[in-house]
A = this chain, B = another copy of it.
């Protein structure tokens, strides 16, 4: 296992319903990140199609099956190295349903697909919630777990990933712009930072930017260390990079007498 991994989150601005444009743009940014030495690249939720569908027909037209060309294009953009891509897309399930999904992909192809299990607002009109726990994928850089956006508001979700061995929670998001009452930090970042600290895991939240049919997005992408501190946010190129050693997340010793996981008291907790 290599020591340092370069994490890249790419805060793209998807074009609503324009799959071809989004495939081209995301492939370009993935190639760019690979060229800059990125080992783990995260794209936003629904990076292939945008967010603000008005009808089920629009959502269906935007959705792709796992045999779609986009996955071959992304795989090609990763090249022949050890790069891993986590990217959100609208999935046309083999069961005829639509899912708000994220793929984990490397040069060998699709490693896993996670279907968002907590759907936000109008997503419920278009998507079926996933019914499987979030996935953890072993990679040469460390173990990557995947959540999507509103999932992060449920502390049980990053906890479940961390207990399953994730070193990094990769979270494609489309954070609707929310009121900030104190300080400058959007509330979604508060939850992402708390998730990192609660389970001593890295978090790479890849938000989108822009406005779509009147909906403003936060552009709040952030890479967070296992103590909950932000390591990087996007620069003017809308990319955030951080070099980290993901397996260091596994050491959960807080004091000579405290380990964050063995200190847990599951028999006292309510699900």
Contact = CB atoms under 8 A, between A and B. Distances in A.
Interface string A147-163: 00010011111011001
B117 A265 contact: yes
B159 A255 contact: no
Contacts of A254: 121
Contacts of A125: 257
Interface string A126-151: 00010111100000000000000010
B268 A160 contact: yes
A153 B271 contact: no
Contact of A198 (B118, B155, B160, B260): B155
Given A120-B258, A271-B269, A187 B227 contact: yes
A37 interface: no
A124 interface: yes
A191 B183 contact: no
A234 interface: no
A230 interface: yes
A61 interface: no
A239 B131 CA distance: 47
A134 B254 CA distance: 23
A81 interface: no
Contact of A229 (B124, B181, B228, B263): B181
A21 to B, nearest CB: 29
Interface of A: 117-118, 120-122, 124-125, 129, 131-134, 150, 153-157, 159-160, 163-164, 181-183, 185, 187, 190-191, 193-195, 197-198, 227-230, 254-258, 260, 263-266, 268-271
What 6 A-B pairs are tightest by C-beta distance, nearest first?
Answer: A194-B194, A155-B155, A156-B269, A121-B255, A160-B270, A181-B229
Given A150-B263, A194-B198, 12 more contacts: A117-B265, A117-B268, A121-B256, A154-B269, A156-B156, A157-B268, A159-B269, A183-B185, A187-B227, A193-B194, A194-B195, A271-B271
